[in-house]
Structure 1
Amino acid sequence: MPYEHLRVIRDEPVNRRKKPRFPGFPKPADTRQHGRALQASLARVVAATEEPEPGFDERRLLRINVVEGFRPEDLEAIPGLTVVSQEGRDVALLFSSEAALALVDQRLSTLARDGTVTRGDLLLAIRGFDSWRAEDRMGTALVQLGLSEPHESIVDVELWPLDSSRERVAMLVAFEAFLTLQRMPILDRLNQPSLLMFKLRVSAQQLTALLNYRDVRLVDLPAQFGFGIDVFQVDVNELPAVQPVPEGAPGICVLDTGLAAAHPLLGPAVGDTANFVERGEATVDTDGHGTRVAGLALYGSITECMRDGFQPTLRLFAGKVFGNDGRDQTRFVEKAVDEAVRYFHETYRCKVFCLAYGDRNKIYDGRHIRGLAYTLDRLSRDLDVLFVVPTGNLLDHDLPDDALEDYPGYLMQAAYRLLDPATAVNAITVGGLAEFEQDHDAQRYPERLETSPLARRNQPSPFTRVGPSIAGAIKPEFVAYGGNMAHHHLRRRRTTQRLGVISTSSRFAEGRLFDDAPGTSFAAPQVANLAATVLRYLPHASANTIRAVLGAHSRMPGEADTLLGENDAAKLALCGYGRIDSRHLFESADGAVTLLGEDAIATDHHHFYELLLPDDFWHGRRRTREVSVALAYCPDVKTTRIGYRAVKLSFNMVEADNLEQVTGWFNSNRVEAARKLQEASTRVTVTATARSKGTLQCATWTFKASGTRRLFIVVTRKDEIWYLHPEVPEPYALAVTFRDLENLEANLYVQVRQRVQQREQARIRARG
């Protein structure tokens, strides 16, 4: 019997987090020698850059290599040093005046002579000085591919997004004057709080000038979006009856190549379409990708609907933000996405957006988050919306010749990392799973053994890209069906025919209502469909709550678990938290109960929750029981700090005798002891260290032995030093599910509901 999900209730008190004492950075064995080495390093940099690079003022851009964990803001204690960015865990970039360089040199002389100096802790944490060179400003695609045309190519130029509004304006004025002098046409501009970009047309000679301009952070090739690998058409002769969309149905918005809105399976659900490419075009989908994505976003699984009938329960919206023909290179897709999201959110209150493509020219290299991902992170927080994006695809020529034998090992290569915007920490990223194993030839000639699938059903798609994102954040969070590949032994080539995902076709007027295509682009809308469907049951849910409830119902597919064995890093990089189980996603049942809660936590505080599990959950014969916890939040972000997230929330689940024991552990900084007590005593799917690196954190604990336990969840917040608003409570959502997997007579829901009601009544009485 289905029931509405219950509330999870926070316990009192709310306690401040006791900060651990900082042990300090390791000191060099010989401080005098360290001072001499640093002084020589600084002298080499100054000598090599006697003529400072052009910029909006006279300061030098100085690269300072520091010990890992050092806060670059501390260097601003030296007058004349201004932090520009942190480009790695041990690299800080600063603007430095000549007076500041002289002061640093003077202090290094003192350190070299005496072994001590004023603010010597700063100098001892520095490993060396260097300059920021032209090669440091080259993006991955530019390094690998070079300019497409030596005399006239389009490039994306990222400037340092300075915090000072006065300096930012001065930098923009100076840079545009530089472009005019160099005769580089400006095609588009993008100005966001932590992202400042220009799209330019340049020659090889002009590119050299750009790469030696001090205020340029990065130059790279423009977006090249990857939509799929191959397409196979499926004929359908009879049109299933389409039921009308229910009144008040939540919306789902697809941002893609447009939409064939007259498709007989999509048309009845379409609310609005709009074009944001600015070419005077209609919103029609000439590519076909947007229509395929829309069918999956609306229905979830076309193959199931072909069997059970088409019943749209969502209202479909579509924004054309990319034309997929190369002509839109003159405009930033970030701007089109920003405009589209604001339009559909403000006009129709859309909360779930599917952006099903990835930029092949922006493979994540472990450095800062790039333009589109940052745009999604910022919009997610500003508007309380949820984006669902794919990991991106490998093309056939990316795969090794021995892919059949080397699968899935080859997927873990650094070159196969995520594509922008899959790195966005506040969005949901989806990887691919194989659904079908027989390709076109294997189905036509079943007696022959000419082809072999690279992956088996529910194993990672052979072309799915891998995480993690910045600072090790788990990406993708989820997986869904994205397609498969097969190796043809006689022809010595790979094929995807009849191994992709079936969806609606833009060529329906030719009699083809459906087509088939492989790619993680078609995995993402399946998850977006589930996210939007949550709003049918929880119409006022925040984006955090949607993410949390999806996470609490995710499980690693058994086939993928077996394939990857004990390689936990590969499991997280390929599958994240797994595939979403929709059986009890929207409503609880007698033996599967979900509790949801939202709150906001102050900096350096703990929140405590006791899980009100009934005795029946623990007692009885030895059997498998699961408790899953998911935490979701949407922090402010900054591209110029390695600590990209302004706020870091985390949770631990611990077993204790009472609430006082739990608060004692966390208030006396014995968190590790409490964490090990719970995570060592049962099988946990994702450790606290691994999950805490992302903004969606999920874990499942498995219990088999009988015996009553008291379980508590502890949510903790700490902030980055650069965050300007630590006084603002950070909102978060919590979802907890527990399931009795082997007791068919379980009747947990009524007992839990009764306990929740008793706790609420007791709290009301206590408040008097």
Structure 2
Amino acid sequence: MASDDKHLILPRLGRSIAFTPVGKPIHPIVPEPVDDRPEHARNLIERLHSALRGSSERLDAQSEVLPRDRRGLLLVLRPRDGSEIDLSFFRGTSHKIELLAASGRGRRQRVRVFVPERRVSKITEAIAQYGDWEEGERKPRFTDFFEQLGDINLAAVSRFWNGPEDASMPSKKDVADWEVWIRPAVAEDVKRVAPEFDVSVDPHATSFSRVVVMQMRARFANLERLLIATASVIELRPASELTVPPMSMTPVQRRNLASALAGRIVPAPEGAPLTTIFDTGVRYQHVMLSASLPEARAHTLLPAWQKDDTDGHGTQMAGAALFGDLEKLIRRTDPIVLQTALESVTVLGASGSRRFNPSHQLREAIRRVERTPGRRIYSLSLGMPNNRNDGLPTEFSSTIDQLAFGDDTHKRLFCVAAGNLAESGDLVVGDYIGTNDATGIQTPGQAANALTVGAYTEKTDAEWGERAHAPRGDLCPSSRTAIAWRTHLAHKPDIVMEGGNRVVEADGVSTRMAESLCVLTTHNEIPGRPFAAAAETSIANAAAAGMATRVAALYPELWPETIRGLMVHSARWTPAMLNRWEGSTRAAAQDILRRFGWGVPSEERMRRSVDNVLTLIEQDRLSPFTQRPGGKPTYDKMNFYRLPWPREALDSIASEKVKLRITLSYFAEPFPSAITFGSEQDYFSHGLTFDVCEPDDDDNEAIARINGRHRKAGYAPGAKRRRNRWILGSDARAVGTLRQDVWEGAAGDLATMNRISVIPERGWWSSFRTGKDADETVRYSLIVSIEAPEAVVDLLTETSLAIAQLRASVEV
């Protein structure tokens, strides 16, 4: 391969086109009419008034702490037999009924709501009008909702519990730590009066759209009284806290080796991108780290917490981020030229230090480091093993999503660990790989905007003839997966990195960690123990964060969304991973994704294109929704690309098999309340997906395939002439904020498939936003690669010339 060039970054070639999705619109649920409407209306009014009478003591309690306009009833609604309550009803605002949570479907559906006390008479009046309505007359407001509604009852606070499946609600008598999801309208009232109810509230609340999350400590009886008196609760969960993964290894080399390695280090220049380690601190005095981490960049959230790492975990992460596996450097003698540097914040104090709100920890750590400008990739290898592992968002994972989304110009890339099996010290041979599949990725690994890193291993050569537990190239024995997730808001993990292996004991059943099968990194106990052997997903994640930072150094113009996309775009499955691909179905492909992500990233593939592998990068913006005054948000634009394509080169090898890989990476604003009321698709502010034209489509055919408005203008798509050759396909890849798929087929077909569209999908902005915010543009990165067999064709030269001509025409 004669050429070795950086990837080709395109000059925003997209054409913005008015957009309407193709397909049938989603209609609201229309129930069967009731047999006796007046009787049904009288029953609803009686149930509502009965709930009001039952709330008299609650309303009295509220009158002591809330002004009248914030008092109300916490109710649970049930559907009429044979019907279901349409949750889209609550997206309107004229009725003033606030949806808090929803669960179940059909007759098992339960919908918890807040009804303002002052609105009860208005709702009673509306029900009466519905009961008096005669066929042929104008239908009263809310008729469909009243016909769906079957029963109204007071909601018990205990019914708002939503902990992990294996966690029961704390005993009513015991003092416990709680995570309480609160209605924003009364959040300040809750803080103000909590001491009167003997409830301790952490002052650092986390605010999202339509929900405020607070950490509290109290007996349930006291907490219940507070939540009733403030009519505030949306959801109760167990409190969260960060913990260090359990595996911490011993050093394997002596300090003279550390000195020799340090002598080869050429530090990164001033202003180089930083890998910011949120952990137990970093021993910045370490001979191999000191030039990359001056004391001024070592921070701690509390003065009582050591910024130079008494635990050891953070120093291990720093070494992995800066150097990767040190074993590879030991075998060489050339200079170690660094392009990146380090930054550290102690977010977890020594064992026994006081609890701290994790979301506040993270926000405060961000504020601390961002006082100083600079490009950063954030590494968080701490987890929450006692929190959710079912794929649903938590306060902490949603906080990461929110901080990643940031504002219009300031986005952040977080690398987070998938988490380890809780009992990894006792893994037995029979558990592999079933236990991994049965144990879901832990919080915050479900954060959709983050890069979630699992662990695999290439380390199988154990000392003294010991037998390695996992085969070469397969899953690290303790790495969690998303196979058993209840809800897949994103394909996780995104990638896997080296996490070490385990050794099978002589009994052939039990296993243990061995230094020879771990990642060599830096140790905090200097000068006597400069090296540590570390393992599992924490070290894998730190190495991934370091790799992402090196990409940021090579391509300073790339957005965080793009760097995340490139990490995944460069990943490939190992032969051992592909051996676990059972069958040829897309469900099997998704199982591979939920275990290994897209595989192991390659730093070379991330950094460079070569003759037979062409990579194009487009960073662009799109307006997904718009809103007329007084109307509801509607779809606005799609972007259409006719990419510069090596058509002649592809035609010259028309019968050869080639691959097209497309990655679309963007960040979305989270809406965690959507999960609470059973509307997972509305967790994201918006969705984006891509579509690729059929071979020989012209522009109009390519657009008409996915744009209903284009069809209305008289254009029609041609017939599909090729079977679908995508690994996932449009439905399976339409998950999360990182969409990737791979097409494989003849080069002659691919030669004309250069028309690619980026299309908006619904999200909570399309349901809840009003005014000018509905017209907000969003960023995304589109990465496109063509891969041909080696030494067959030069894809770069033709495309580079075409892009140069495009740039020249733009400049003119």
Q: 2:192: which partner in 1?
A: 176
- Gap change, CA 1:482 and 1:445, over 3 Å in 2: closer
SS in 1 for 2:705: helix
Q: 2:700 aligns with which of 655, 660, 666?
A: 660
TM-score normalised to the size of structure 1? 0.86
Q: Distance in 1 between matches of 2:85 and 2:429?
A: 40
CA RMSD in angstroms, aligned pairs only: 3.6
Q: Distance in 1 between matches of 2:41 and 2:418?
A: 43
- Asked if the contact 1:459–1:563 (Cα under 8 Å) also holds between the matched residues in 2, the reply is no
Q: 2:19: which partner in 1?
A: 17
Q: 2:627: which partner in 1?
A: none
Q: Is 1:354 aligned to residue 367 of structure 2? A: no
- Asked if the contact 1:161–1:193 (Cα under 8 Å) also holds between the matched residues in 2, the reply is no
SS in 2 for 1:32: coil
Q: 2:74: which partner in 1?
A: 61
Q: Is 1:526 aligned to residue 572 of structure 2? A: no
Q: 1:688 aligns with which of 704, 720, 730?
A: 730
- Gap change, CA 1:281 and 1:230, over 3 Å in 2: closer
Residue type at the aligned position of 2:492: K
SS in 2 for 1:732: strand
Which runs of 5 or more residues in structure 1 are unaligned? none
Residue type at the aligned position of 2:758: V
Q: Is 1:77 aligned to residue 94 of structure 2? A: yes
1:165-221 per-residue CA deviation (whole Å, 9 max, x = no partner) reads xx34xx4224431x2222233454324344634444434653554676641332413
Q: Distance in 1 between matches of 2:46 and 2:172?
A: 40
Q: Is 1:648 aligned to residue 675 of structure 2? A: no
Q: Is 1:267 aligned to residue 290 of structure 2? A: yes
Q: 2:458: which partner in 1?
A: 435
Q: Is 1:340 aligned to residue 361 of structure 2? A: no
Q: Distance in 2 between matches of 1:495 and 1:676?
A: 58
Task: Note the C-alpha offset of 1:508.
Answer: 3.4
Q: 2:618: which partner in 1?
A: 597
Task: Note the C-alpha offset of 1:60.
Answer: 1.1
Q: 1:483 aligns with which of 472, 493, 500?
A: 500
Q: 1:460: which partner in 2?
A: 475
Could you tell which deviates more after superposition, 523-532 or 52-61?
Answer: 52-61
- Asked if the contact 2:572–2:600 (Cα under 8 Å) also holds between the matched residues in 1, the reply is yes
Task: Note the C-alpha offset of 1:389.
Answer: 0.5
What pairs up with 1:30-45 in 2 under 5 angstroms? Answer: 30-32=33-35
Q: 2:180: which partner in 1?
A: 158
Residue type at the aligned position of 2:553: R
SS in 2 for 1:25: coil
- Gap change, CA 1:12 and 1:258, over 3 Å in 2: closer
What pairs up with 1:330-729 in 2 under 5 angstroms? Answer: 331-365=356-390, 367-382=392-407, 383-396=410-423, 404-405=429-430, 407-413=432-438, 416-437=439-460, 443-446=463-466, 453=469, 455-467=470-482, 472-488=489-505, 490=507, 492-498=509-515, 499-510=517-528, 512-566=529-583, 567-603=588-624, 604-614=636-646, 615-620=648-653, 622-641=655-674, 642=679, 643-655=682-694, 656-668=696-708, 677=720, 681-704=723-746, 706-707=748-749, 708-718=751-761, 719-724=765-770, 725-729=773-777
- Count of aligned pairs: 739
Task: Note the C-alpha offset of 1:257.
Answer: 0.5
Q: Distance in 2 between matches of 1:627 and 1:554?
A: 14
- Asked if the contact 1:658–1:710 (Cα under 8 Å) also holds between the matched residues in 2, the reply is no
1:606-625 per-residue CA deviation (whole Å, 9 max, x = no partner) reads 11112322121343274332
Q: Is 1:295 aligned to residue 319 of structure 2? A: yes
1:697-734 per-residue CA deviation (whole Å, 9 max, x = no partner) reads 11122224645433321101244311341212111111
TM-score normalised to the size of structure 2? 0.82
Task: Note the C-alpha offset of 1:138.
Answer: 3.1
Task: Note the C-alpha offset of 1:388.
Answer: 0.6
Q: Distance in 2 between matches of 1:297 and 1:307?
A: 19
Q: Distance in 2 between matches of 1:675 and 1:31?
A: 47
Q: 1:731: which partner in 2?
A: 779
Q: 2:343 aligns with which of 289, 299, 317?
A: 317
Q: Percent identity?
A: 19
Q: 1:189: which partner in 2?
A: 204
- Gap change, CA 1:140 and 1:752, over 3 Å in 2: same
Q: Distance in 2 between matches of 1:746 and 1:128?
A: 70
- Asked if the contact 1:377–1:637 (Cα under 8 Å) also holds between the matched residues in 2, the reply is yes
Q: Distance in 2 between matches of 1:200 and 1:638?
A: 22
SS in 1 for 2:406: helix
Q: Distance in 2 between matches of 1:427 and 1:557?
A: 23
1:661-714 per-residue CA deviation (whole Å, 9 max, x = no partner) reads 21232333799x979949x63532333223322111111222246454333211
SS in 1 for 2:532: strand
Q: 1:743: which partner in 2?
A: 790
Q: 1:284: which partner in 2?
A: 308
Q: Distance in 2 between matches of 1:351 and 1:299?
A: 17
Q: 2:632: which partner in 1?
A: none
Residue type at the aligned position of 1:322: L
- Gap change, CA 1:600 and 1:683, over 3 Å in 2: same
- Gap change, CA 1:263 and 1:661, over 3 Å in 2: same
Q: Is 1:755 aligned to residue 805 of structure 2? A: no
- Asked if the contact 1:432–1:461 (Cα under 8 Å) also holds between the matched residues in 2, the reply is yes
Q: Distance in 2 between matches of 1:397 and 1:207?
A: 36
Could you tell which deviates more after superposition, 133-142 or 221-230?
Answer: 133-142
1:374-406 per-residue CA deviation (whole Å, 9 max, x = no partner) reads 24523542332211101122122798x8x6345
Task: Note the C-alpha offset of 1:72.
Answer: 4.6
- Asked if the contact 2:97–2:114 (Cα under 8 Å) also holds between the matched residues in 1, the reply is yes
Q: Distance in 2 between matches of 1:397 and 1:46?
A: 56
Could you tell which deviates more after superposition, 473-482 or 566-575?
Answer: 566-575
1:321-366 per-residue CA deviation (whole Å, 9 max, x = no partner) reads 112524130x213222212223323304132110111112211445
Q: 1:247: which partner in 2?
A: 269
Q: Distance in 1 between matches of 2:73 and 2:480?
A: 39
Q: Distance in 2 between matches of 1:502 and 1:34?
A: 74
Task: Note the C-alpha offset of 1:476.
Answer: 1.6
Which runs of 5 or more residues in structure 2 are unaligned? 625-635
Q: Distance in 1 between matches of 2:387 and 2:747?
A: 49
Task: Note the C-alpha offset of 1:260.
Answer: 0.8
Task: Note the C-alpha offset of 1:319.
Answer: 0.9
